[in-house]
Amino acid sequence: MKIGFIGTGVMGASIIKNLFKKQYEVNVYNRTKSRTDELVELGATWYDTPKKLTEASDVIFTMVGFPQDVEEVYYGEEGIYEAQVKGKTLVDLTTSTPTLAVKIAETAKEKGAEALDAPVSGGDLGAKNGTLTIMVGGEEETYQKVRPIFESFGKTFMLHGPAGKGQHTKMANQIMIAGTMTGLTEMLVYAQAADLDLPKVIETLGGGSASNWSMLNYGPRILKEDYTAGFFVKHFIKDLKIALDEAEKLAIQLPATDLAKTLYSRLAENGYENDGTQALIKLWWDQEKKPQKN
State residue 231's pLDDT score: 87
Q: Is the pLDDT of residue 288 over 80?
A: no
Neighbouring CB atoms inside 10 A of 273's CB total: 18
When mean pLDDT is compared across 120-129, 161-170, 172-181, the lowest value belongs to 120-129
CB 103 within 8 A of CB 127: no
Smallest CA-to-CA distance from 127 within 171, 93, 92 is with 93
The beta strand positions in the chain, using DSSP E, are: 2-6, 25-29, 45-46, 59-62, 89-92, 114-117, 120-121, 132-136, 154-159
Q: What would the pLDDT profile of 269-280 be if each residue is shown by its tens digit? A: 999 999 999 999
Q: What percent of the chain has pLDDT over 70?
A: 97
Q: Is the pLDDT of residue 290 over 70?
A: no
Pairing of strands 25-29, 45-46: parallel
Instruction: Write the DSSP symbol of residue 277.
Output: G
State residue 248's pLDDT score: 97
pLDDT confidence bin for 289, thresholds 50/70/90: low
When mean pLDDT is compared across 14-28, 147-161, 166-180, 275-289, the lowest value belongs to 275-289
Work out the mean pLDDT of the chain and round it to a whole number: 95
From 17, 51, 165, 170, active-site residue: 170
Q: Is the pLDDT of residue 176 over 70?
A: yes
CB 24 within 8 A of CB 61: no
State which fold the 2-162 domain adopts. Answer: Rossmann fold (3.40.50)
Over range 248-253, report the average pLDDT: 97
The CATH number of domain 168-283, selected from 3.10.129.10, 1.20.120.1200, 1.10.1040.10, 1.10.760.10: 1.10.1040.10
Smallest CA-to-CA distance from 152 within 123, 131, 173 is with 131
Q: What would the pLDDT profile of 196-234 be if each residue is shown by its tens digit? A: 999 999 999 999 999 999 999 999 999 999 999 888 999
> Long-range contacts made by residues 281-284, C-beta under 8 angstroms, separation at least 24?
281/185, 281/188, 281/189, 281/222, 282/227, 283/185, 284/185, 284/189
Over range 236-254, report the average pLDDT: 96
Neighbouring CB atoms inside 10 A of 194's CB total: 8
Report domain extents, the chain: 2-162, 168-283
Annotation says 224 is catalytic: no
**What torsion, rounded to 10 degrees, do the Cα atoms 177, 182, 185, 188 define?**
-100
Over range 5-20, report the average pLDDT: 96
pLDDT confidence bin for 291, thresholds 50/70/90: low
C-alpha angle 139-235-119 in degrees, rounded to nearest 5: 15
Q: Do domains 2-162 and 168-283 have the same CATH topology?
A: no
Q: Is the pLDDT of residue 293 over 50?
A: no
Q: What would the pLDDT profile of 94-138 be if each residue is shown by its tens digit? A: 999 999 999 999 999 999 999 999 999 988 889 999 999 999 999
State residue 286's pLDDT score: 73
